[in-house]
Amino acid sequence: MGTATARGYAFDNDSGFAGAHHAALATLLDRATQDRVVGLLNLAGTACLEVAAGGGSIAGWLAEQVGPGGRVVATDTKPELIPSHPRLSVLRHDITTGAPGDGYDLVHARLLLNHLPRRRNAVHNLARALRPGGVLLTEDFWPTAPGDFVACAMSPDDAMLLRRYQLAHLQVLADHGNDRTWSRRALIAFMEEGLVDVHTTVTGGTWRGGGAGCRLVLAGIGQLRGPLLASGLTAADLDHLRALLADPSVVLHGHLLYSTSGRRPDTVDGQD
């Protein structure tokens, strides 16, 4: 059964599993994000905004890349996990309430908008934070459907349990307001905001037991244990899932990462 009364972001930075969650995300996704950013603009001397910075791996990388003439602002509703850096300012902020300043050359948010019920309002605020000519980049998963989740498992029962987990996981996220289809609709929202040069790239691959993708799933099981048990999975199921996700013979079809970028038009005739 679903947890229809659930509200709010499903993953909590106060959780004891948050560190493992962010570390797995960094290992799994940071290279793809960095390559995408570098392909969009020269970061030297720029002003960057990292929204929902989480564990801060991309915020810290941006602070290194902008150099002495640049600056980075990293926001989160719970920013305590973001590490310090001389060119990094950390701000407690909710993007659905407004833009944290403006004039940014790059505004980036990863794995945020699909979780927000007011995601369309958040896109508007993200776009408002750009300077003329500035670039907005958001990245969200297109989750693998339960029936396609398992590439390889040692037994039909193991494969079925992994599919049952994925079905329950997606339902728990949906009960918290997650929209699994958002990643493919971000492009339209960017165009509605008047951004130009809008483009989406897609990256992904398989996740082997013990690797970063499966460690991400493990951390999610830790954070969402209560709702997963309420969905019908048992404590024994969760224990067995943890063993499967550490087994290199298990291979999953990982979620696809949709990275959508757009540029705020340059000033025309002195007007934004």
> Residue 191 corresponds to which tokens in the numbers above?
């165009």
Q: Given this model, what pLDDT does residue 6 score?
A: 45
Task: Kindly indicate the confidence band of residue 11, based on its pLDDT and cuts at 50, 70 and 90.
Answer: confident
CA atoms within 13 A on the CB side of 6: 24
Q: Are 168 and 195 in contact (CB under 8 A)?
A: no
Report, as an integer, the average pLDDT of 59-69.
Answer: 97
Q: Are 113 and 180 in contact (CB under 8 A)?
A: no
- Model confidence over 228-239: pLDDT tens digits? 999 999 999 999
User: Helices 212-223 and 18-40 sit at what angle, rounded to 10 degrees?
Assistant: 130
Q: Are 30 and 58 in contact (CB under 8 A)?
A: yes
For residue 207, what is the enclosing H or E element?
Answer: strand 206-208
Instruction: Say yes or no to pLDDT of 62 above 50.
Output: yes
pTM for the whole structure: 0.93
Extended strands (E) in 52-203: 71-76, 88-92, 104-110, 130-142, 150-152, 196-203
Q: Given this model, what pLDDT does residue 7 score?
A: 54
Residue 8 DSSP symbol: S
Torsion of CA 10, 16, 22, 25, to 10 degrees: -70
- Model confidence over 108-146: pLDDT tens digits? 999 999 999 899 999 999 999 999 999 999 999 999 999
Could you tell me the residue ranges of all domains in the chain?
18-263
d(CA 102, CA 122): 14
Burial of 52 (0-12, 13-18, 19+ CB in 10 A): buried
Q: Given this model, what pLDDT does residue 272 score?
A: 45
Q: Which CATH architecture has domain 18-263?
A: 3-Layer(aba) Sandwich (3.40)
**How many CB atoms are closer than 10 A to CB 77?**
13
Report, as an integer, the average pLDDT of 45-69.
Answer: 97
